[in-house]
Structure 1
């Protein structure tokens, strides 16, 4: 049997298998129960306002805060890791590996409850502010490695040329290397932002006031009260809103990566 024939038969069998799975699900699932649980029309009508006005707004705000502060921290860590001073490299490496190795939820809970109890610390913004600090610590660790890779991707000739013109190492890094590095790492940094948008959902574990809840927190509260209580409709709606926020960003990343490949 020819290779092309075997390939067509293999592809055909996969299509048949997929069709069989779809048919089995179609005939065995209780679709009225699925609709009532995940797509309750009464809940859909009454819950959009709180999910969008409170949930989406706060999710975007928390993402912006965590990304901006994490980016500043990441630049410092990346420069420390590339420093000629050994202790700086060691400290940056320990920090990055530590926070990249811990689950983000553990860091958020530690900042929200552990540190305030252990040290009598009153974080700015209360428990929610402490949770945001936890997000910043984690985001900084991940973005630091991205920025370090971007700096090292800038051709050495750029640094040598600027130094030969009399620029100091600090000015060379600030005005020559970092701008080029950021142009290289825009796609992965955008990916980090997408991850941060989803990680803000972890703030639901430390509690929030009614007006400061992010999207997941609002959806969770709606499962216990309101028109969609006792159903998962609010989670379905929250999932749709997360996709509305993140899908354009992921498509933007794909476009930027494709553009960079063409430029090379």
Structure 2
């Protein structure tokens, strides 16, 4: 038997096993209970609040955390690449601490521990404090991405800018940073997707009716509303998260392939 024939037979066997497993799992599920508990009648009444309050606030919180986190990350990346050793130490300690702490712990610290310890309340209440926690964590993760992007720019670019009379600050702002951002767009987009999902952690600190994000709205529907007592609202919020995140993940994959072709 030819090697190509054997390969096709092996692949066919693997496909057959997969089909058998899928059919077995589908047959073993009680679809009536699934429908009653995760797609219960009355779900249409949830969409209004989920989209106009939860989805809107999730997008706003993500944009705020990403924008401020990116500014913080750029400052940390530049500090870590600084020739002054204490600046590098400060950036390294910060990055290691906030990458090591779970995002939920950081959010709780900002929302409850900091006001108690220092008597200072973040503007925006507990949601504002939770957002600050997300900014601190996102800044730590994106700082390493930015540092790698800055170091990936060939040193000849800086030397060429210096030969044209540009100073260190102008070289960094107009030559190095723009080229670095072109390299790191895919990982930054991936970080944006992660932040979309991390906004669900804000539900732990509480919010007013108008400040709730997707998970918070869905949690309220678990105990009240037309689908109370079922997981229908969780199914709906999962769909909305996928509607946001799946196109972005495909965008990341496309950007990565485009960069590989360019290289």
What TM-score do you get using the length of structure 2 for normalisation? 0.96
Change over 3 Å in CA distance of 1:220–1:4 after alignment to 2: same
Distance 1:14 1:118 in 2: 59
The residue aligned with 2:139 is 140
The residue aligned with 1:248 is 247
The residue aligned with 1:234 is 233
Which one is further off, 96-105 or 18-27?
Answer: 18-27
1:69 maps onto 2:63 in alignment: no
Deviation digits for residues 132-154 of structure 1, max 9, x if unmatched?
A: 00000000001101111111111
Deviation digits for residues 74-118 of structure 1, max 9, x if unmatched?
A: 000000000000010111011111111111111111111111122
Distance 2:255 2:13 in 1: 37
Deviation at 1:214, TM superposition (A): 0.3
The residue aligned with 1:183 is 182
1:120 maps onto 2:114 in alignment: no
Give aligned pairs, total: 263
Distance 1:254 1:177 in 2: 25
Deviation digits for residues 128-178 of structure 1, max 9, x if unmatched?
A: 111000000000001101111111111111100111122111111011111
Where do 5+ consecutive residues of structure 2 fail to align?
Answer: none
1:42 maps onto 2:34 in alignment: no
The residue aligned with 1:59 is 58
Which one is further off, 6-15 or 248-257?
Answer: 6-15
Where do 5+ consecutive residues of structure 1 fail to align?
Answer: none
What TM-score do you get using the length of structure 1 for normalisation? 0.95
Deviation digits for residues 161-205 of structure 1, max 9, x if unmatched?
A: 111122111111011111111111111111110000000000011
